Structure 1
Amino acid sequence: MEEWHRRSVLATGAALSAGGLASITAGASEADDRVDDLPNPDLDPNPGADEDWASYRGGAGHARFVRDGHEFDGESLEAAWSVNHDSTVAVADDIVYTTTADGVVALDAADGALVWENTDIDARDPVVAGERVYLGGDEIVALDRDDGNVRWESDFDPEEWTSSHTVAYDGVFVVADGTLYALETDDGSVQWRKESAVVESTDGDERESEFVTGAAAANGVVYAGTETGTFAFDPTTGETVWRDETWYSGITDQSIYATETGVLSERSGPELALYDAQTGEMMNLPTVRSGPTLSNESVIGGNDQGYGSHSIHGDEYDWTIDVTYTYGQAVISSETIYVYFQVDGHNYGDREYDQTLVALDKRDGSEKWTISKDDAPIGHIRAISGETIYVDNDGELVALRERVDDEDAADEGDENGDDERKDEDSDDSGDGDAGESDDANGDEEASDDADGDAGEEDDGDADDGDSDCPNTESDSECEDDSSDDFTGSDDGSLGDDGGDDGDTDTGDQTENGTTDAEDNGDTDGVPGFTTGAGLVGGALGLEWLRRRGDADDPTE
């Protein structure tokens, strides 16, 4: 896959005009050639990264789409661990990044143990790229992945709002007070900005407006929407690659999603604008009033007629099921749609799914399995990564994994310990010394055997797992991630879910004067930490309730 060489293009220079529109003062022909080569689906937004959910909505395109994700068996899912949280999730290199009422935390994906915590910043929506974790809010904040120390912070000082952000192609792209900014990932400096953009219709009419969506990245470009249309920009220069040629009004404070094949812009009202990601041609206006999700094949979401799928090309993925007025933003992983349904307060009549985690076939919407909240600690999906589903269960982040059978665990123990003992028992030295080793450390290993350590099972590292809530006012249990796109003029404060008030020491001041929290190795200090409980069966359900009760005490 082609590497992204940002510096080589930046060397041509990009200047900001007095009107705020980016203008190129040098190397114009090189920039034009670059635009002619875009969009290009072979250009990875973050080359070298191989993560399912490195950004708070999955990837740089914010589509909540895992192309080659794990296929989960609902009957064997169980809770591996849980911890208090109040925002979205990113997962990279077996570390889970999220926020609590107290700040930003990094957790071990295997067991939820606290790796580090920074209580000095008020931010949300983590994105992991390179050696940094980038979070949004009123400002963009970049933290060091290793210790959580602040590396830089933007200075937008917004009067109205700041959008969600995306990190791709060596840049951080965000809209503040209607202006689209491209920030350098290393230090947060502004590489280019656009205060507005012009939509030109096929009739030659033009209309200029400011940006009202966040940004999404895919295909070597950055996508963003104005009040009148959607655009694709070269991320290194801000040059327009394509633009909407059919203006319309009604895009206000909404999100944008992008994959290799499609770009989806939310608009006021039930209809969304679906574009061909390569050409910018508007292909469809799918009716989705809640929880849009985008894959390379289809748009998923709910409306007044049901919950269903709209094909990007053709009609192979068109289907609808009778689940109206239910809310949940899905994750599309491989061939399956995973979604949490919750009946809206205005829904009259019985519905099949309420407070239920459902797996649907992506092609026809047929049910694969379901799990009720009465039987398991489930909720809106925060992330899917590796072999883990992360869900929000009443303010707790719960890691769900498939149960490991006792027989499988025994087999693992055999592989890690029994084989060694068998080799020792079959020692052909003939001296009858059990556990004697042929290598130089034989005596030490024999001593370990005597202590009973030789056959100890290797826990290993669990696969990491990589969500968001729908854009609905009716969802009282789940914080609205779509509304997180725009902070408005509020103070950007996070929720009031419990945080770690333990003995976390403070570290040295960073260069910008921010004091950051040092690592806290005491896993008991993780707020709300509980051991996993089984998801199915009466006994497992009772165990979950018991442990939930025990988990509530340490946080007081």
Structure 2
Amino acid sequence: MRPISRRGVLGTCGAALAFGAGCLGDGTDDEANGDGNGSAAESGTWPSFRGGPSNAAVADVDGFDEEPAERWTVDLPATPGTAAIADGTAYLAAGSRLSAIDLSNGDERWTVALEGARTGSPAIAEDAVVCPDAEGLLVVDHEGNDRRHVPYDGATTARLTAQQQAGPSVPSSPTVVDGTAYVGTPAGDLVAIGLADGAVTWRSPATDGWASLARQRQTAGGVTSPAVADGRVVVGTEAGIAAFDAADGSSEWTHDTERAVRSAPAVVDGAVYVGGATPVALAADSGEIQWGGKGTASLSLQATGESVRRQELPPMAPSVAVGDERVVRHDSDERLVALDRSDGSERWGAPLEEVESLSRSVGSAGTAQYAPSWSSPVIAGDAVVVGTTAGVVAVSLADGAGLWRLPTDSRVVASPAVADGAIVVGDGSGTVRALEA
């Protein structure tokens, strides 16, 4: 098979454009992927958008406190989502296709077409790779064969037209646990799909009652990428945060917020963490506030002037990374902020423009223009890595001190994937880069 266009550049990344990397692993370790303890790298894999079912976005790797080297780059036809990685292969969805990339050299192993444009990032199951589009979930085996497309069903599709009138849908990437893929649909449902039989197991209308509010605000009312832990599925919605029984989709609890939640919740050690301007930690079994969430309030189901006014506040995004002691968020002012996991107090804040001076190539003006990015941070050993409008930035997990910045041609919206001493991430021009420590 002819390889994707790539530049096999090895060595340090000075003036070169760089930022992602690869990872190896088998993608089937239940302890690493299903217990909600926050560790995604014990099995050397990054199986889904936030590194595993807990959405903790943590990789136990070394070496990224120093500027990494570029292993390879590939050019995809559209902006890619976050990579899913296992067995020496990075799976990336861009536009209306899903590609498998060899981590050792950037060669294309295979490519399959989606039914439409991707609506999230792929995820890896023991015997399958899954990727969402507007109408359903594409399921193929690890070689790109045995193609199946599982529709979300007519009821969901019928509501999609009305929902899309409110604005673009919230991206939702699937989370796979024990042969079931959980994903939010563009119409605002949360669905569970059994991969063995390729059918929808259950469906819960996670945004019911809030559709009118979404239309009033001309915003989306979708469901975020789910976190799955301890038999529970937790998502963000237009109204706040909601938890469902993983077995049958029945509602367990809801927590209303004054902002729409666009970020994927993380569930670690019995607590739910959500970022944004008003980050909050909730008890996973009850939804009770543990810390944060100042200004949250129950909102009327009618689009009253007061509720609409509150919901006009910026949504809670991007997603947080949850380590042993810190919760790290990427805020709308292009800062990384670390909170204490125990009480939510701020431990440090790192303005990302201050990392600019660490770059060897900053342009003729010597500075970069930053704007809010949707890239979510990941914890890679002793470093925190995130995409910005100017490239990829790393700061120290301990104190937020700048470590390195690698420039890119286009803004980095996708979140990095990290495992086995490597990072993979793509930018808005469709270029994907692999970095190694």
CA distance in 2, matches of 1:166, 1:248: 24
Q: Do the aligned residues in 2 keep the contact of 1:173 with 1:181 (CA within 8 Å)?
A: yes
> In the alignment, is residue 92 of structure 1 matched against residue 86 of structure 2?
yes
Partner of 1:52: 45
- Structure (1 or 2) with the larger CA radius of gyration: 1
Partner of 1:397: 432
- Cα 1:49–1:385 change in 2 (3 A) is closer
User: Where does 1:254-403 land on structure 2 (aligned, <5 Å)?
Assistant: 254-261=262-269, 262-265=271-274, 270-282=277-289, 283-285=291-293, 291-296=318-323, 297-304=326-333, 306-314=335-343, 318-323=347-352, 327=373, 328-342=375-389, 355-367=390-402, 369-373=403-407, 381-393=415-427, 394-402=429-437
Residue 135 (structure 1) shift: 0.5
Unmatched 5+ stretches in structure 1: 5-40, 200-209, 343-354, 403-556
123-132 vs 333-342, which moves further = 333-342
Q: 1:150 aligns with which of 147, 151, 160?
A: 147
Per-residue deviation, residues 347-375 of structure 1 (Å, max 9, x unmatched): xxxxxxxx2533212132122x213428x
CA distance in 2, matches of 1:362, 1:226: 29
> In the alignment, is residue 66 of structure 1 matched against residue 58 of structure 2?
yes
- Code of the aligned partner of 2:98: V
- Code of the aligned partner of 1:182: A
Unmatched 5+ stretches in structure 2: 1-28, 210-220, 295-313, 354-370
Q: Do the aligned residues in 2 keep the contact of 1:44 with 1:220 (CA within 8 Å)?
A: no
- Cα 1:358–1:288 change in 2 (3 A) is farther
Q: Do the aligned residues in 2 keep the contact of 1:257 with 1:294 (CA within 8 Å)?
A: no
Aligned Cα root-mean-square deviation (Å): 3.8
- Code of the aligned partner of 2:139: A
Q: 1:190 aligns with which of 190, 195, 200?
A: 200
User: Where does 1:495-534 land on structure 2 (aligned, <5 Å)?
Assistant: none
SS at match of 1:82: strand
Residue 126 (structure 1) shift: 0.9
Partner of 1:553: none
Partner of 1:532: none
User: Where does 1:235-246 land on structure 2 (aligned, <5 Å)?
Assistant: 235-240=246-251, 242-244=252-254
Residue 191 (structure 1) shift: 2.0
Per-residue deviation, residues 206-243 of structure 1 (Å, max 9, x unmatched): xxxx9744422123321124544423323112344x52
CA distance in 2, matches of 1:316, 1:310: 5
Per-residue deviation, residues 421-467 of structure 1 (Å, max 9, x unmatched): xxxxxxxxxxxxxxxxxxxxxxxxxxxxxxxxxxxxxxxxxxxxxxx
- Code of the aligned partner of 2:264: I
> In the alignment, is residue 111 of structure 1 matched against residue 68 of structure 2?
no
CA distance in 2, matches of 1:71, 1:218: 30
SS at match of 1:74: coil
> In the alignment, is residue 127 of structure 1 matched against residue 162 of structure 2?
no
Q: Do the aligned residues in 2 keep the contact of 1:288 with 1:302 (CA within 8 Å)?
A: no
TM, length-normalised to structure 1: 0.52
SS at match of 2:331: strand
Q: Do the aligned residues in 1 keep the contact of 2:71 with 2:105 (CA within 8 Å)?
A: no
Q: Do the aligned residues in 2 keep the contact of 1:311 with 1:317 (CA within 8 Å)?
A: yes
CA distance in 2, matches of 1:326, 1:48: 28
- Cα 1:371–1:195 change in 2 (3 A) is closer
Per-residue deviation, residues 94-113 of structure 1 (Å, max 9, x unmatched): 11111345622111111111
Q: Do the aligned residues in 2 keep the contact of 1:84 with 1:396 (CA within 8 Å)?
A: yes
SS at match of 1:357: strand
Partner of 2:9: none
Residue 49 (structure 1) shift: 9.0
- Code of the aligned partner of 1:154: P
CA distance in 2, matches of 1:155, 1:315: 38
CA distance in 2, matches of 1:219, 1:87: 31
Residue 259 (structure 1) shift: 3.2
Q: Do the aligned residues in 2 keep the contact of 1:356 with 1:370 (CA within 8 Å)?
A: no
CA distance in 1, matches of 2:278, 2:230: 25
SS at match of 2:272: strand
User: Where does 1:537-556 land on structure 2 (aligned, <5 Å)?
Assistant: none
- Code of the aligned partner of 1:274: A
Residue 278 (structure 1) shift: 4.9
Partner of 2:132: 136
Residue 181 (structure 1) shift: 1.8
CA distance in 2, matches of 1:146, 1:237: 31
Q: Do the aligned residues in 2 keep the contact of 1:97 with 1:106 (CA within 8 Å)?
A: yes
SS at match of 1:140: strand
TM, length-normalised to structure 2: 0.65
- Cα 1:147–1:301 change in 2 (3 A) is closer
Residue 317 (structure 1) shift: 5.9
- Cα 1:213–1:121 change in 2 (3 A) is closer
CA distance in 1, matches of 2:385, 2:38: 25
- Code of the aligned partner of 1:373: P
- Code of the aligned partner of 1:220: G
Per-residue deviation, residues 453-496 of structure 1 (Å, max 9, x unmatched): xxxxxxxxxxxxxxxxxxxxxxxxxxxxxxxxxxxxxxxxxxxx
Q: Do the aligned residues in 2 keep the contact of 1:117 with 1:148 (CA within 8 Å)?
A: no
Count matched residues: 334
Partner of 2:178: 169
SS at match of 2:53: coil
Residue 397 (structure 1) shift: 0.7
